[in-house]
A and B are shown apart, each in its own frame.
Chain A
Amino acid sequence: MQTVLETKNVGKYFYDPEKFRVLNNINIKAYKGEFLTLVGKSGSGKSTLLYLLSTMDTDYDGEIWMDKKLVTGLNQNDLADIRNENIGFVFQFHYLLPEFTCLNNVMIPALKLGRYSKQEIEERAYKKLEILGLKDQALKPASKLSGGQQQRVAIARALINDPKIIMGDEPTGNLDSKNTQIVFDIFKQLTTEFGQTIIAVTHDNDFAKASDRTIVMQDGEILSER
């Protein structure tokens, strides 16, 4: 199996209000086409770890490798480019730009990347919205949609550049069971059909159980895998 993401002895301190080791001795791998979930009690360090993997938080020890490339120590601009091309994000909150239409929100990362012409990007954005069942909402302002719909637009946006990895911090945390199921099915489809890797933090046990592999965290360390 091809490794897309790997940590080597990753650890991190927080200094505020006092110095404490929030993550310690983290050695994990994520494989191509894998649906990986991170679970653990609140405060166990799941989000903190995910933000390290996302390359947004660079204050840690150890090494993070992405696609056989060491990302630890790269400068902010290079990391931004890596995120743009290789990582899609879904958070508990949708973080859509409220003044933009759904379509335009989905197009933003692709316009930034510049791999395709504007017209191609628009077509692709429509397709992603279609996959998420939102094609008819495409031209509405993002602020006019329901919570579940907004979250699905955010997922479409995370997919627009066909990233290798999609990271989610409790991506279904605000969703009802019906919407959670939709999101789960899409994630599943992305891994099986398109070989994309999902790394999702969740506290939803059913969601975790149905994923390919679950890493359990406790007090900043890996407790077990199942």
Chain B
Amino acid sequence: MKHKHNINSEISISYIVTNKKLTTIAALGVTIGIAIFVFMNSMMKGFDRTSTESIFKTVPHIRLYKDDETSVPLSDKHKESETIIVNPKIVPDNNVLVNPNALIKLLQSQEDVKVVTPQTNANVFYNNGKSQISGNATGINIEEANKMFNIKSYVVEGNADDLKNIQNGILLGVGIANKMNVRTGDDISITSSKGVLKTMKVVGLFRTNNSNTDKSKSYINISLAQQLLQKNASYITDINVNVNDFNNANIYAQRFSKLTGYKAEDWQAANETLMAAAKMRKVIITVISFSILLVAGFGIYNILNMTITQKINDIAILKAMGFRGGDVVRIFVQQALIIGFLGIALGLTLATILVNVLSHVYVGGDIGYFPIRFEPSQYLKGLIFGFLVTFFAGYIPARKAANVDPVSIFRK
């Protein structure tokens, strides 16, 4: 036929207009469902972001190191007899990477690798007069390490770049500085596990907001760490790698491990407890937010069922007059979608308000302001799932309406 008229929509809209009150209630149900859905998921996103941000202040995406080895019998000639090792021990002094420079070059040449930097860790005591605390000095190349950990972003005093010029410079955690009562420009002596004593110049202080780290960690030049351990310049304990997509760090870790023969540990494996907590949080929030959305869907389902019962005569005569089953489905699905659209639009607005308000709430401690912000991806998710729920909440009763036998109505 020549002309296409939108009579199905006219009918849907008339049903919405005649049932204003219930329509409003159903739409408000969706509003609340969507608002909470988007809000909770944005909150989770915020938690995850602050959590990874704080992890990546000190942990690389992937850490390559030599795993401890346990002693094995030197000869296995007597295969038939059972080998017994009495008191196996970790092979001492074996935790070093052979030819680290070649390894670094190799890793740098890999796809998706952003930063590769060597690191040598030394366990030390920080001394000042009589007080002494244990901790660890991380030997780094400040320029590369800054690219990786963004150290400058959490330096609160002094200048991290001074490590470059001052060979015996040290960047101290604020916790250590407080205990030792030192400030930028002061001297501090450190003793290594090998008994080497060095006098260091404090070039700055940093605060990661992880109080354990701030009370034990310091950054020094990598050559100094090697001296503290009485090793030469090729003594590298870790090679740190950052990749483009940290969410896939485990895949790259496996690849690098195969490539180099050394152990490559991704950040998630290194922070199992935190990851497990995040996973649990995700499960709980997902379940709750979807349940709320589903309940909102029931509101729509309800009003549609009611409309269909009310308008059963209309359905019968429309079918008699030549409306197809598909037309009837469209009439009611459209009604659901209009209600859903109103609810979703309002819900996203409400979510924006909630996010805005909460992001201005100061929590304090490690967190500062509540870690929530406008997350476009969550809005999109809310939009999509909102419409999906709405669609099915409308489609199920609509199918029923489409299958109404008009004759059975006319006979009444």
Check: A84 CB closer than 8 A to any chain B CB.
yes
Q: Tell whether A99 is near chain B: CB-to-CB under 8 Å.
A: yes
Asked whether A118 and B410 contact (CB < 8 A) given A54-B320, A89-B321, the answer is no
Contact A77 B7 (CB under 8 A): no
Q: Tell whether, in the assembled complex, residue A56 and residue B5 are in contact, meaning their CB atoms are under 8 Å apart.
A: no
Given contacts A76-B324, A80-B324, A83-B321, contact A99 B18 (CB under 8 A): yes
B130 adjacent to chain A (CB < 8 Å):
no
The answer, yes or no, to whether B11 is at the interface (CB within 8 Å) is yes
On whether A114 and B3 interact (CB within 8 A), knowing A91-B410, A95-B313, the answer reads yes
Chain A residue numbers with a CB within 8 Å of B321 are 83-84, 89, 108-109, 112, 157
Mask for B220-239, Cβ within 8 A of A = 1, else 0?
00000000000000000000
**Number of residues of chain B lying within 8 A (CB) of chain A:** 31
Contact B1 A115 (CB under 8 A): yes
Q: Which residues of A contact B3 (CB under 8 A)?
A: 114-118
Q: In the complex, what residues of B have CB within 8 A of residue A95's CB?
A: 313-314, 316-317, 320
Q: Do residues A169 and B410 form an inter-chain contact, with CB atoms below 8 A?
A: yes
B320:A108 contact, CB within 8 angstroms: no
CB of A51 closer than 8 Å to a CB of B: yes
What 1/0 mask marks residues of chain B from 307 to 320 whose CB sits below 8 Å from any chain A CB? 00000011011111
Give the complex CA separation of A149 and B278 in angstroms. 69
- Cα distance, A160 to B322, chains bound together (Å): 13
CB-CB contacts below 8 Å: A21-65 with B: 47, 51, 54, 56-57
Tell me the chain A residues, 101-139 only, with Cβ under 8 Å from chain B. 104, 108-109, 111-118, 121
The secondary-structure label for the interface of chain A is helix
> Does B357 touch A at the CB level, under 8 Å?
no
Chain B residues whose CB sits within 8 angstroms of the CB of A51 once the complex forms? 407, 410
> Does any Cβ of B come within 8 Å of A100's Cβ?
yes
Residues of B within 8 A of A113 (CB): 1, 322
Q: Is the CB of A114 within 8 A of B1?
A: yes
Q: Complex formed: what's the CA distance from A56 to B316 in Å?
A: 10
- Listed residue (A82, A100, A108, A121) with the most chain B CB atoms within 10 angstroms of its CB: A108
The reply to whether the CB of A219 lies closer than 8 angstroms to some CB of chain B is no
Query: Considering the complex of A and B, which 8 residue pairs feature the smallest CB-CB distances, nearest first?
Result: A84-B322, A114-B1, A111-B5, A95-B317, A111-B7, A114-B3, A83-B322, A99-B14
Binding site for A on B (CB under 8 A): 1-5, 7, 10-11, 14-15, 17-18, 313-314, 316-327, 405-407, 410-411
- 17 A-B pairs besides A77-B324, A99-B17 with CB distance below 8 A are A76-B325, A80-B324, A81-B324, A84-B323, A95-B313, A95-B317, A95-B320, A97-B14, A109-B322, A111-B10, A112-B321, A114-B2, A115-B1, A115-B2, A116-B2, A117-B3, A118-B3
Interface residues of A (CB under 8 A from B): 47, 51, 54, 56-57, 76-77, 80-85, 89, 91, 93, 95, 97, 99-100, 104, 108-109, 111-118, 121, 157, 169
19 CB < 8 A contacts A-B: A51-B410, A56-B319, A76-B324, A80-B319, A80-B324, A82-B322, A83-B320, A89-B317, A99-B14, A109-B321, A109-B322, A112-B5, A112-B7, A112-B321, A112-B323, A113-B322, A114-B3, A115-B1, A117-B3
